[in-house]
Amino acid sequence: MPSIDQERRLLPTYEYKQDLIDAIREHSFLVVIGETGSGKTTQIPQYILEEMPEMKKIGVTQPRRIAAITVSKRVSEEHGTPLGKDVGYLIRFDDHTSSSTRLKYMTDGILLREAVQDPTLSQYSVVIVDEAHERTLETDVLFGLLKKTHRLRPELKILVMSATLDVEKFSDFFDECPIFEIPGRTFPVQIIHHQSMKINALKSNFVSTAVETAFYIHTKEKAGDVLVFLTGQADIDRACQEFKDKCNELDYNRDVKYYDVEDEEQVKDVSVYPLYASLETMEQRAVFELSRRGSRKVVFSTNVAQTSVTIPGIKYVVDSGFVKEKSYDPNTGMDALLVTSISKAAATQRAGRAGRTAPGKAYRLYSSESFEQLPDDTIPEIQRSSLLSTVLALKRMNIVDVLNFEFIDKPDETLVMKALSQLFLLGAIDNHGVITELGKQMSQFPLSPYLSRVIISSAMEYECSEEVLTIASVLAGDNDLFRAPSPRQGEDLIAEAEKCKLKLAHHSGDHMTILNVWNEWRRNDESRRWCRDNWVNHKALANAKSVRSQLIDIANQLKLPMVRTRRIEVERTNGGKKEGRSKEVVREVDAVPVLKSFLTGYYTNIANKASGRSVFSHYAPDQHLAEKSSHTSSALVALYLHPLCALSDMFDRNKTRYSQIEWVMYMHVTYTNRAVMKGVSKILWDWVRSGKGHERIRQLATAHLNGVDKKKFDKKRKQLLDDSSAQASSVESSDT
């Protein structure tokens, strides 16, 4: 085994160490390209750290939290200091840096926030924007800001690092700066297309096809590890299970080509790993270790293995052709994670992972014709998201004229207009487009402007900030609060899990259910055991706890009062028909102010029950107004309750509550084969009509912002107000 120092010297960047240092000394802007795994992320910042003592602090951005963590851990190990000393990381809600930290890995979002607080970025001598090819929204905005920062501080060094060749654009943007290319040491990769499969047809079954292909490789190909690209935790967990099941039935003597017990190189065993952006999977060291002789490693991964992390030993790649991507959904006006087909550039990157240390093979699950039809490059996130937080951040930096901000690729003007009008309606900017006091407060929270707005109203208007902060902390994380047994674990377990959830569920829906779960967890000493016994996700609560204390700090800085809401008395019916019902009066938290607080942010995320089935129709007030926009065609969409929702019929087999639902508010929509609401609670239409929500809808009708055509709005406004019930018409269910 080579020592860690030897490993470093073997990387392609090593040869170019001095040239890189010279180039950094000479130029303000520098673009660096090099194959994934060549040492850009771990080595180049270290060269600066070790060889350029004149550089104070080096900041390196990563689009993924998980990459910032793993990379900084690896680099502190290489550097020989404990994490958080010379080398550290800072991501939202998690700070591993200290006053002596000189090399700081962070998410691009963090640097963006720092640039908001301090436009000169005075603490840094060098800023490195890594994984620039990913073109996240934050990275794109950083580009524009860094150019400004450079005008204020010409001595600041700015590096842009990318794994793809298409970097002319970056160089052009940064005053036609030089491009430093680190030649890759890659081996040929044979590409095998699934010729009869069109990518559109593949969408419904790429998981099982990927499993079959991985299994084919395991039984028919020579030794070498396998990397399978899927889209997210759910399909990866499923694929791991299916693949393991197939392997359990495998008889190596019978099923494996060229099987030879005596042969040392022969594959006789397999280990299977999931890899997605959660610490548990990323910290399984074994994924990053070479396989034992005679054993094959099969990794089912998200896009994180495409360019962010390198798994050694990969000789075979299976490319499903799909990725989960944040996209603006015009139907709901929200960002959602959607499974979409990848670009040619991404497919090429994926295939490249097979040829890092030896010749390899890439199995594409789609035809070469489908490959040819893929777009050349991934659309930058800025051109497919709602832009709300971004626009607010820009406003906070006193960039009033957002439409003329120096973007590397301009976002769609209509989306910018939409973000401006939503921020106006949330009260974050005034009708001249200038940020308000409320907007400044909102921008202090590292949350979506909707959720920040909710927290502020809970403190200032509805006197329930204690409760709302708890609920918001859980919602801010991306873990589901409840766990569900998989169907294969049997009916008994499923029934038991449902019973537990029913016990914790609140009749008004998910918001108050979250509060119930939190309170019970606290009452049970925050125990893991309690979580396990009740099918609750301990991690979701533990994360929420840390998020909550940080949100409280921010709320305190903003002098927002922390208040507990009143308790009310409610009559509860106990027991079923058999035992005879009894009534008792219990005291519980009043859900009304809590839900009204949430409505101040999410007043457009409301839906009403359609035609007695499990379908809701989205009510899109602003879309009633948006004339001729591409969104109007499907202003009303069918929405379904997520099975883990407290209001879903899983919790209520007799449908007693369900039948009483008319209007609901939801936090977001996810997509499987249909649009599914998450974070759903019952509301009354009256709260919207008499409350802030309706006021905002009226305002929307009269809003005239930075060039929005007032006449157009006036016409639509009349229409809206005439429509006195203002209720969305039902949609036909496609479910039956």
Q: Which residues contact Mg ion (rule: CB under 5 A)?
A: 40-41
Select 41 or 136, whichever has its Cβ closest to Mg ion: 41
Piece in contact with ligand ADP (CB under 6 A), picked from 36-44, 257-265, 560-568, 589-597: 36-44
Sign of CA dihedral 254, 260, 262, 264: negative
**Which of 81, 90, 148, 140 has its CA nearest to residue 119?**
148
Select 41 or 378, whichever has its Cβ closest to Mg ion: 41
Q: Which does 38 bind (CB under 5 to 8 A by kind): Mg ion, ligand ADP, none?
A: ligand ADP
**Which of 111, 14, 16, 116 has its CA nearest to residue 57?**
111
* 40 touches ligand ADP (CB under 6 A): yes
Q: Which does 37 bind (CB under 5 to 8 A by kind): ligand ADP, Mg ion, none?
A: ligand ADP
- The residue nearest Mg ion at its CB is 41
Burial 191-211, CB ≥16 within 10 A → b, else e? bbbbeebebeebbeebbebbb
Q: Which residues contact 390 (CB under 8 A, 6 or more apart)?
A: 137, 138, 141, 382, 419
* 350 touches ligand ADP (CB under 6 A): no
* 107 touches ligand ADP (CB under 6 A): no
**Which of 66, 376, 402, 356 has its CA nearest to residue 225?**
356
How many CB atoms sit inside 10 A of residue 376's CB?
8
How far apart are alpha carbons 46 and 76 in whole angstroms?
A: 10
Q: Which does 288 bind (CB under 5 to 8 A by kind): ligand ADP, Mg ion, none?
A: ligand ADP
Select 304 or 475, whichever has its Cβ closest to ligand ADP: 304
Select 41 or 465, whichever has its Cβ closest to Mg ion: 41
* 61 touches ligand ADP (CB under 6 A): no
How far apart are alpha carbons 250 and 215 in whole angstroms?
A: 10
Select 41 or 101, whichever has its Cβ closest to Mg ion: 41
Piece in contact with ligand ADP (CB under 6 A), picked from 31-39, 331-339, 557-565, 604-612: 31-39
DSSP 588: E
How many CB atoms sit inside 10 A of residue 686's CB?
10
Residues 69-88 close enough to bind ligand ADP by CB under 6 A? 70, 74
How far apart are alpha carbons 233 and 168 in whole angstroms?
A: 35
Q: Which does 164 bind (CB under 5 to 8 A by kind): ligand ADP, Mg ion, none?
A: none
Select 310 or 436, whichever has its Cβ closest to ligand ADP: 310
Site map (CB under 6 A) of ligand ADP, residues 301-330, x = contact: ---------x-x------------------
Site map (CB under 6 A) of ligand ADP, residues 8-27, x = contact: ---x----------------
- The helix (run of H) or strand (run of E) holding residue 543 is helix 538-557
Among 39, 59, 427, 449, binds ligand ADP (CB under 6 A): 39
DSSP 381: G
Piece in contact with ligand ADP (CB under 6 A), picked from 29-37, 338-346, 359-367, 641-649: 29-37
Select 357 or 699, whichever has its Cβ closest to ligand ADP: 357
How far apart are alpha carbons 332 and 28 in whole angstroms?
A: 43
Piece in contact with ligand ADP (CB under 6 A), picked from 35-43, 169-177, 210-218, 255-263: 35-43
Among 30, 31, 32, 37, binds ligand ADP (CB under 6 A): 37
Select 307 or 441, whichever has its Cβ closest to ligand ADP: 307
Least separation, in Å, of the C-beta of 79 and ligand ADP? 13
How far apart are alpha carbons 208 and 211 in whole angstroms?
A: 5
Backbone angles phi, psi at 594, to 5 degrees: -60, -50
Among 16, 17, 32, 42, binds ligand ADP (CB under 6 A): 42
- Binding-residue total with ligand ADP (CB under 6 A): 15
How far apart are alpha carbons 287 and 304 in whole angstroms?
A: 13
Select 39 or 593, whichever has its Cβ closest to ligand ADP: 39
Sign of CA dihedral 307, 381, 327, 452: positive
* 43 touches ligand ADP (CB under 6 A): yes
Burial 439-458, CB ≥16 within 10 A → b, else e? bebbbbbbbbbbbbbbbbbb
- Footprint of ligand ADP (CB under 6 A): 11, 34, 36-43, 70, 74, 288, 310, 312
